[in-house]
Amino acid sequence: MSTPIRFFYRGAVREAGNVAPTQTVLQHLREDLHCTGTKEGCAEGDCGACTVVVGSLEDGELKLKAVNSCIQFTPTLDGKALFTVEDLQQADGALHPVQQALVECHGSQCGFCTPGFAMSLWAMYLKQEGQEPTRCQIDDALSGNLCRCTGYRPIIDAAKRMTALPPASFERAEVIEQLQALQRESGAVYSHAGQTFHAPRSLDELVAARAAHPQAVLLAGSTDVGLWVTKQMRELNDIIYLGHVAELKTVRELDGFIEIGAGVSLEDAYAALTRHYPRELGQMRQRFASLPIRNAGTLGGNVANGSPIGDSMPWMIALGSQVVLRGPQGERTLALEDFYLGYQLKDLQLGEFVQGVRVPLPRGDVAFRTYKLAKRFDQDISAVCAAFAFTFEGEIVKDARIAFGGMAATPKRAAQAEQALIGRAWNEDVLREAMAALAVDYAPLSDMRASSSYRMQAAQNLLRRFWFETRSDNPLPADALNAFAAA
């Protein structure tokens, strides 16, 4: 039987029982609920005009996240709370401090993008609890919102101003009470017009659903699958949603690894990882997509997608990370580099799915760096993503692991460059040999992001940058080689 979708919105429980499983939250808002404050700009999670805030219960607490409603499917709202710009108006009709600050600081012209900016700022407003945000916090919160008219300066001014205005209340306890009443004890199945949306609640239910529907699309954060619908116009039949499986949302340290479940968001995964690798992964965390995308997408989904330009895989491969797979026959673990067999081709058996990833904890003898080259600092796809993890005995390279994204059909290690380095002194002559060997390891393509020759030269220069930072004679601090830090 089909289960209705229930969620909390504008002070009441809403029920959606006659919508397509791939109808987006944005479409449901505008076409079914006639709440048109949320706008559609790009329909691919890039511009932020559609930003809303979704609340969910995690360990009994309310967790609020700004996400892109244009790529989230309506059934994913089941058991959650939805907040849009319509929610910001106060009971007495006054503007919310976020809105008032935008007015006072002239943060809007045509106003089309403003609801999205307002919701990103509202999520930050609640998180700040009256404390003025820093410029870095503001930039991160607005990384998923593109401004077409005003320029960011008055919007940033508004972000600073909003916490100085008389505060607005938010009934967190009421929302928690409503969501507690909406939680399901077991999985739900929602069907409409030949499409079925399975929402298991446990790992065992997920294994059973995957075994029964091995060709179903697995849906986690919808940051990729959503575009299959909005841009490629694909018809999806069976969908299995991972977002309610609690066992997939755990982060733990085990046997020298950080084990991250496949349902852990990118934002939460990178928060855990940067506690162990603050210098090495701090900038990657900030530059990976945008905050709304990191709030929705998952590290496990990034790995399962297997894109040759995914930013997580090169550094994970360089560190020697593992992928944990689960299927009807149980659990198995692979080195991540062995998981990718070809372009969009993975070592997945029938009925298997990615259960999680294991990232090695830092070791004092490993020199590790990862670098991203893209046309923009925020929210941009890499032209080249490089990662290096070396161990040394004095000046001798004992072991070298080099991985690149954007250089081949899959994230791939540089075997020839590694062999040119291992057992040899880490000096400039050996460096040049390794740089030349990269041309044997890779034959990159030209596309809209970069030419083949640019990619090769950039990859070689990134290896040289790593040498500058790790050479025994006068190593340079990372800031000396960071164009963004120098600015």
Q: Give the pLDDT confidence of 181-198 residue by residue, as tens digits.
A: 999 999 999 999 999 999
pLDDT over 70 (residue 144): yes
Strands 238-241 and 217-219: parallel
Q: What is the mean pLDDT of residues 129-156?
A: 94
Confidence of residue 8 (pLDDT cuts 50, 70, 90): very high
Binning pLDDT at 50, 70 and 90, where does residue 132 land?
Answer: very high
Q: What is the pLDDT of residues 203-259, one digit of tens each?
A: 999 999 999 999 999 999 999 999 999 999 999 999 999 999 999 999 999 999 999
Q: Which helix (H) or strand (E) holds 346?
A: strand 345-346
Q: Round to whole Å and give the CA distance between 455 and 352.
A: 35
Looking at residue 485, its pLDDT comes to 61
DSSP characters over 77-97: GTT-EEE-GGG-S-TTSPPPH
Evaluated on CA atoms 305, 306, 310, 315, the torsion sign reads positive
Mean pLDDT of the chain: 95
Mean pLDDT of the region 101-129: 96
Quick one: how far is CA 194 from the chain centroid? 31
pLDDT confidence of residue 356: 98
pLDDT of 487 above 50: no
Please return the burial class of 80, using the count of CB atoms within 10 Å of its CB with bins 0-12, 13-18 and 19+: buried
The pLDDT of residue 150 is 86
- Is the pLDDT assigned to residue 47 strictly greater than 50? yes
Q: CB–CB of 53/119 below 8 Å?
A: yes
- Alpha carbons 212 and 351: distance in angstroms, whole number: 8
Is the pLDDT at 391 greater than 50, yes or no? yes
Angle formed at CA 392 by CA 478 and CA 430, multiple of 5 degrees: 80
Place 109 in a pLDDT band, splitting at 50, 70 and 90: confident
Mean pLDDT throughout 331-349?
95
DSSP state of 296: H
Q: How far apart are CA 313 and CA 233, in angstroms?
A: 28
**Is 344 a residue whose pLDDT tops 90?**
no
pLDDT at 446 over 90: yes
Among the ranges given (90-99, 456-465, 475-484), the one the predictor scored with the smallest mean pLDDT: 475-484
Do the Cβ atoms of 154 and 57 come closer than 8 Å? Answer: no
Q: Span 376-390, mean pLDDT?
A: 94
The burial class, CB within 10 Å (0-12 / 13-18 / 19+), for 448 is exposed
Average pLDDT over residues 456-474: 97
Starting at the edge strand found earlier in the chain, the sheet holding 384-393 runs: 366-373, 384-393, 396-405, 412-413
The pLDDT of residue 4 is above 70: yes
- pLDDT for the residue numbered 91: 81
Given this model, what pLDDT does residue 1 score?
Answer: 53
Per DSSP, 30 falls in state I
Rounded percentage of the chain residues whose pLDDT exceeds 70 = 99
Q: What is the DSSP letter of 474?
A: S
Instruction: Give the residue-averaged pLDDT of 326-353.
Output: 95
Among 258, 394, 385, CA closest to 320: 258
pLDDT average, residue stretch 333-362: 96
